[in-house]
Amino acid sequence: MSISKIFIDRPVMTTLVMFAILLFGAIGYKSLPLSNLPNVDFPTLQVTSNLPGASAETMASAVSIPLEKQFATIAGLSQMTSTSTLSQSQITLQFDPSRNMDGASLDVQACITAASKQLPPQMTTPPTFAKVNPAMQPVIYLAVSSDTLPMYKVDYYAETIVAQQISRINGVAQVQVNGAQPFAVRIQLNPQRLASYGLGMDDVMTAVSAANQNQPTGTLWGKSQAFTIQSNGQLLNADAYKPIVIANRNGSPIHLSDVAKVLDSVQNDRAGGWYNGKPAVILAVLRQPGANTIQVVDNIKKLMPNFRSVIPANVKLDVLYDQSTSIRNSVDDVQFTLLLTVGLVVLVIFVFLGNLSATLIPSLALPISIVGTFAAMRLLNFSLDNLSLMALSLSVGFVVDDAIVMLENIVRHMEMGKTPMQAAYDGSAEIGFTILSMTLSLVAVFLPVLLLPGIVGRLFNEFGVTISIAILISGFISLSFTPMLCSRFLRPNKEGSEKGKLSAMSDRIFDLVLAGYKSTLQLALSAKPLVMLGFVAMLIATAVLFTNIPKGFMPNEDTGQLVVMTEADQGASFQEMSRLHTQLADILLKDPNVESVMSSLGVGNSSPNVALNQGRLLVVLKPRADRKLTADQLIQEVSPKLQNVPGINAFVQNPPTITIGGQVTKSLYQFTLSSPNIDELHAAAAKLQEKIKGIDGVVDVTSDLQISNPEVHLTVNRDKCARFGVSMQQVEDALNSAYAARQISTMYTSTNQYWVIIEVQPRFYKDPTKLADLYLHSTNGQLVPLESLCTIENGVGPLLVNHLSQFPSVTISFNLKPEASLGNVTNAVKAFAKDREIVPASVTTGFQGTASAFEDSLQNLWVLLLLAVVVIYIVLGILYESFIHPITILSGLPSAGLGALLILMICRVDLNIYGFLGLIMLIGIVKKNAIMMIDFAVEAEREGHKSAEDAIFEACLTRFRPIMMTTMAALMGGIPIAIAFGAGSEARQPLGLTVVGGLLVSQLVTLYITPVFYIYLDRFQKRVFHPDESKIPASALPQTEPPPVPH
């Protein structure tokens, strides 16, 4: 018994089941989070250590290496990188996706504790770690600024009021503060004045520490009342510190103000942020995985009036960048594409059938399948993003296929004179297995997608599952709802009644096309060797095209922002970097396409910079409708202007939709060299960098090798130190106090804790000669000038020390020109890296980040294509109980691949991961046409006792109309995506192009190749498996005239 009969006989049950699918789908849709891409959570922890004043070498040897040795023992650690720079070490730990992050966090904390005994005792705070997601971009940037207030007051409002309230919003993971300027009292000593009083810096530190106290002072307990004792031990501003008595000389007190300037200042005066050229504190808000980006941003914006009512009127709060705007635009455009696709598909059905009621029946499968998919997406915690909506847009062309095939077959039975009810019974029973085969084999195509490892697998898992669910629902609807509607609402044409004009015209056009196909099919069947020769040629052409087509990873999208990474000469001061950044920002702000510019300098305090000579600018563009240039076009326009600023290099990037890897580099694509032999490593990196600069299509070639930072080398004479009673610890302690912005005390307030910092006055650290003004206390109480204990020489040293898996490393990074292919460039880089005259065998090399993900995906996607074909073959073999018929069904795949690759080359679009996904989809689409032919031919051979040639000829003509309808429907599903309009269209276009190109070529070719393959393989099957049958001449078999092709 046919499964469709149950639903035909029970229309109320069938209708209510469809209503339930729609109801739960609508509920699921309302609760689906909106985001740009599916949630991709990289298991990554970042460990940060601070030791003010320490050089990069000191941070690497004293902090990074002891920690790295401990972290290397953690289970599930896939990669460890570290960057050591002035005063800071940052270690990034990437774990296997299967690693539980709570357990990993406990292991990291245990390793920090174990390494603490080996870390420098001067570290005032232990290393801290935090879970980070490199793939996650801030959903909104806020700028807090003021034209009148000092920056430490602006920072108070930004961090204490705005950031803390935002962090409590549901869905917010973290609020990063760029350019943080927390309050600090800065004591700037005059070493000459100190020496004139016979005082050392240690005297000042002792006095200040003793004067600023916050100790428990106890309670007075009376008989009936208790009194808490509170003293004025806390000093909370610069004026309170100035009267501190350092010492007494000749009966007169020496106050702090006599030997120092005491300022209300900021904790780090060599870091900062700017918004449109004015100092600002920048807040970058990150959302939690799975949170609705638009909802998070809307909730933040709801708080803006409240913030403005709390903070003073002279403090400005501006939205610098809002990711939800691009997501809204992109999602809206994809939703419009989805609706347009639905309209086009319905129009195709109407044109072919020329009957309104017949058009509505398969069209109802569209909303039920798509809306019903939302319920499953909600259960699986998916989001409504570009990929899932793209999957639904493409599925429109598929989900209607099964309903079209069912409807067309029932109409064909009605044209035989049957009643609608009988036609529904017979037609659904006859075509049910075909629909089941098409549905299951199409879903099988996407099974390998679920097995993809790495970033590509995480991204496209949601795509594959979404489209599979839509196809399964449509298959169920076609076997249940469609035949039930046909039995009730289709009306047979009465004898003598004329068809409508549109229906008649549609029939006339179809008759002409069918007649042309019939005659050309007869020619193809009479010249089968030539057809097979054409197939072989096409197979070779497809392989050649696939090998030579430019390959990419993820296309650039115009998200309304650019990132400019900057690097000045090694040793550039903060003041010089600030001056240069101001020039860059002025150039960008003058461009009519630019809305605003955010700039950040310095390391630490959530800064994205890794060295003092590096900076970052975030360029926010005007809405796409208000500017003439796209993001990529703007890069070509502004890059030469920025390069004209002397003293600094600017590397402009269109930031990728998803960031891969935790390493921050000045350009997007990374190639890393590592070796225990530092000299060989540095030499190889320099040679390879020059070679990469010569690769066609490569720009912005740079590296993180910075080993020429100006240094002052002090060679201390230990004999002299012993003679004068000065220890080595005193020497380094004095240097640290003078030049490292050393924290010597803490101020405790009701809302925060602030530092008291000691250093020398700015005029005493301008150049190395000022070291002569520093004095140290000897054991006999005398002051000893530092220059008498050491020799001072100028030299160079590393500004950055990088490690990969505990070994020294150098990362070369580069960007691509718009027309360049990532695949060609990576091949060229690998070729240079294999040249032992450039890179010796002792140096290990490999791509990192996005380039590494591209290399992995290229290998995995090639395997995925083959696996998809194998899975389809297995499913079809099971369904047909045949080893041969699946080969016939799959014979059209080379033509689809040829069409897809040709259109990509014509349109000059790389074959990227979206294009690969289109190729996988084509495997499922193209074989549907063959299934319709083969099913009918096999049945004709079995039941009608026809020869293979007669059976396939009849099948091709009989199934021509549904083949044309389903193909046109699939084309209409791909064309709006291939045209590429609206936000985010750059990513969607390769997918649409491959589907459209593959369908156009395969539709033409498979109509001829599949019948020829069927005949040859049928003969082969009979000779191998049924040798007796093959000896029976075709003339001996019962012959029947093929039935007229229905209209």
Q: Of 335-349, 573-587, 589-603, which gets the smallest average pLDDT? A: 335-349
Residues 785 and 896 both lie in one domain = no
Number of domains present in the structure of the chain: 5
The per-residue pLDDT of the chain, averaged, comes to 86
Give the model's pLDDT for residue 1038.
Answer: 41
State which amino acid sits at residue 154: V
Q: Of 64-73, 248-257, 747-756, 1025-1034, which gets the smallest average pLDDT? A: 1025-1034
Flag whether pLDDT at 459 surpasses 80.
Answer: no
Give the model's pLDDT for residue 536.
Answer: 92
Burial class, 765, CB count within 10 angstroms (exposed 0-12 / middle 13-18 / buried 19+): middle
DSSP-assigned states of every residue in 82-94? EEEETTEEEEEEE
Residues 699 and 590 both lie in one domain = yes
Q: Tell me whether residue 699 is in a domain.
A: yes
Residues 474 and 528 both lie in one domain = no
Tell me the per-residue pLDDT of 44-59, one tens digit each, with 9 for 90 and over.
898 999 888 888 999 9
The three-class DSSP label of residue 186 is strand
DSSP-derived pairing of the beta strands 226-228 and 219-221: antiparallel
Q: Tell me whether residue 287 is in a domain.
A: no
Q: How confident is the model at residue 243 (pLDDT cuts 50, 70, 90)?
A: very high
The three-class DSSP label of residue 709 is strand
Give the model's pLDDT for residue 1.
Answer: 54
Q: Contact 697/819 with Cβ under 8 angstroms?
A: yes
**Residue 315's beta-bridge partner residues?**
146
Query: Which residue from 90, 50, 97, 98 is spatially nearest to 71, judged by alpha carbons?
Result: 90
Q: Contact 810/682 with Cβ under 8 angstroms?
A: yes
Tell me the per-residue pLDDT of 509-560, one tens digit each, with 9 for 90 and over.
888 888 998 999 999 999 989 999 999 999 999 989 988 888 888 777 888 8
**Residue 551's beta-bridge partner residues?**
911
Stretch 601-619: mean pLDDT, rounded? Answer: 80
Answer with the residue of higher pLDDT: 630 or 606.
630
Q: Tell me whether residue 240 is in a domain.
A: yes
Cβ-based neighbour number of residue 955 at 10 Å:
25
Give the model's pLDDT for residue 963.
Answer: 84
625 contacts: CB under 8 Å, gap ≥ 6: none
The three-class DSSP label of residue 801 is strand
Residue 901's domain comprises: 498-548+882-1047
DSSP-assigned states of every residue in 455-491? HHHHHHHHHHHHHHHHHHHHHHHHHHHHHHHHHHH--
Burial class, 430, CB count within 10 angstroms (exposed 0-12 / middle 13-18 / buried 19+): middle
156 contacts: CB under 8 Å, gap ≥ 6: 182, 183, 751, 752
Q: Tell me whether residue 295 is in a domain.
A: no
Stretch 471-500: mean pLDDT, rounded? Answer: 79
State which amino acid sits at residue 177: V
766 contacts: CB under 8 Å, gap ≥ 6: none
Query: Which residue from 375, 337, 292 is spatially nearest to 21, judged by alpha carbons?
Result: 375
Residues 571 and 649 both lie in one domain = yes
Tell me the per-residue pLDDT of 291-346, one tens digit each, with 9 for 90 and over.
888 889 999 999 999 998 899 999 999 999 888 888 887 777 777 777 887 788 78
Q: Of 103-107, 344-348, 1023-1027, which gets the smallest average pLDDT? A: 1023-1027
Flag whether pLDDT at 1036 surpasses 50.
Answer: no
* CATH, residue 755: 3.30.2090.10
Half-sphere exposure of 790 (CA within 13 A, CB side): 21
The three-class DSSP label of residue 732 is helix
The secondary element (H helix, E strand) that includes residue 813 is strand 807-816
Cβ-based neighbour number of residue 92 at 10 Å:
20
Give the model's pLDDT for residue 678.
Answer: 93
Give the model's pLDDT for residue 499.
Answer: 56
Query: Which residue from 177, 269, 76 is spatially nearest to 765, judged by alpha carbons?
Result: 269
Q: Tell me whether residue 594 is in a domain.
A: yes
Q: How confident is the model at residue 421 (pLDDT cuts 50, 70, 90)?
A: very high
* CATH, residue 13: 1.20.1640.10
Q: Tell me whether residue 312 is in a domain.
A: no
Flag whether pLDDT at 1032 surpasses 50.
Answer: no
Residues 901 and 1041 both lie in one domain = yes
Helical packing angle, 985-1025 and 323-353, nearest 10°: 50
Q: Contact 759/186 with Cβ under 8 angstroms?
A: yes
Task: In whole angstroms, give the CA distance from residue 598 to residue 620.
Answer: 8
Stretch 623-632: mean pLDDT, rounded? Answer: 88
Range with the largest mean pLDDT of 254-268, 447-461, 494-508? 254-268
Tell me the per-residue pLDDT of 899-935, one tens digit each, with 9 for 90 and over.
999 999 998 888 888 888 888 888 877 877 788 888 8
Residues 955 and 847 both lie in one domain = no
Task: In whole angstroms, give the CA distance from residue 645 to residue 127.
Answer: 38
* CATH, residue 645: 3.30.70.1430
Task: In whole angstroms, give the CA distance from residue 442 to residue 875.
Answer: 10
Q: How confident is the model at residue 1033 (pLDDT cuts 50, 70, 90)?
A: very low
DSSP 8-state class, residue 160: I
Domain end position, chosen among 756, 776, 797: 797
Query: With left for phi above 0 and alpha for psi between -120 and 50, is residue 741 left, alpha or beta?
Result: left
**Residue 803's beta-bridge partner residues?**
82, 808
DSSP-assigned states of every residue in 563-620? EEEEEE-TT--HHHHHHHHHHHHHHHHTSTTEEEEEEEESSSTT-S-SSTTEEEEEEE
Q: Of 590-604, 660-674, 690-704, which gets the smallest average pLDDT? A: 660-674
Backbone angles phi, psi at 535, to 5 degrees: -65, -45
377 contacts: CB under 8 Å, gap ≥ 6: 28, 32, 384, 388, 466, 469
Tell me the per-residue pLDDT of 956-986, one tens digit each, with 9 for 90 and over.
888 888 888 878 877 887 788 788 666 666 7
Tell me the per-residue pLDDT of 652-669, one tens digit each, with 9 for 90 and over.
988 887 777 667 788 889
789-793, Cβ contacts within 8 angstroms, sequence gap of 24 or more: 789/716, 789/717, 789/720, 789/721, 789/724, 789/726, 789/731, 790/714, 790/715, 790/716, 790/717, 790/731, 791/714, 791/715, 791/717, 792/712, 792/713, 792/714, 792/768, 793/712, 793/713, 793/715
Residues 398 and 490 both lie in one domain = yes
Structure tokens, 812: 């070369």
Q: Dihedral angle at the C-alpha atoms of 339, 342, 343, 346, nearest 10 degrees?
A: -170
Residues 994 and 904 both lie in one domain = yes
Rg, C-alpha atoms of the chain: 37
Stretch 412-435: mean pLDDT, rounded? Answer: 87
Query: Which residue from 631, 655, 649, 632 is spatially nearest to 706, judged by alpha carbons?
Result: 649
Residues 491 and 502 both lie in one domain = no
Tell me the per-residue pLDDT of 635-647, one tens digit each, with 9 for 90 and over.
999 999 999 999 9
Give the model's pLDDT for residue 983.
Answer: 61
Helices (H), 32-138: 56-59, 65-71, 101-115
Q: Tell me whether residue 293 is in a domain.
A: no
DSSP-derived pairing of the beta strands 753-760 and 183-189: parallel
Give the model's pLDDT for residue 449.
Answer: 77
Task: In whole angstroms, give the CA distance from residue 285 to residue 1034.
Answer: 76
Q: Tell me whether residue 906 is in a domain.
A: yes
Residues 923 and 1032 both lie in one domain = yes
**Residue 282's beta-bridge partner residues?**
143, 178
Query: Which residue from 544, 459, 491 is spatially nearest to 857, judged by alpha carbons?
Result: 459
CA distances in angstroms from 254 to 239, 260, 500, 504, 531, listed in the order given: 16, 11, 109, 109, 104
Task: In whole angstroms, give the CA distance from residue 608 to residue 665.
Answer: 10
Flag whether pLDDT at 575 surpasses 60.
Answer: yes
Tell me the per-residue pLDDT of 832-849, one tens digit each, with 9 for 90 and over.
999 999 999 999 999 988
Q: How confident is the model at residue 1047 (pLDDT cuts 50, 70, 90)?
A: very low
Residues 259 and 389 both lie in one domain = no
Residues 813 and 959 both lie in one domain = no
Give the model's pLDDT for residue 1039.
Answer: 44
Task: In whole angstroms, give the CA distance from residue 67 to residue 54.
Answer: 16
Answer with the residue of higher pLDDT: 405 or 183.
183
Q: Contact 979/340 with Cβ under 8 angstroms?
A: no
CA distances in angstroms from 51 to 119, 224, 743, listed in the order given: 10, 51, 11
Structure tokens, 305: 């009036």
Half-sphere exposure of 324 (CA within 13 A, CB side): 19
CA angle (676 as vertex; 674, 682 as ends), nearest 5: 60
Q: How confident is the model at residue 263 (pLDDT cuts 50, 70, 90)?
A: very high
Tell me the per-residue pLDDT of 65-76, one tens digit each, with 9 for 90 and over.
999 999 999 998
Flag whether pLDDT at 106 surpasses 80.
Answer: yes
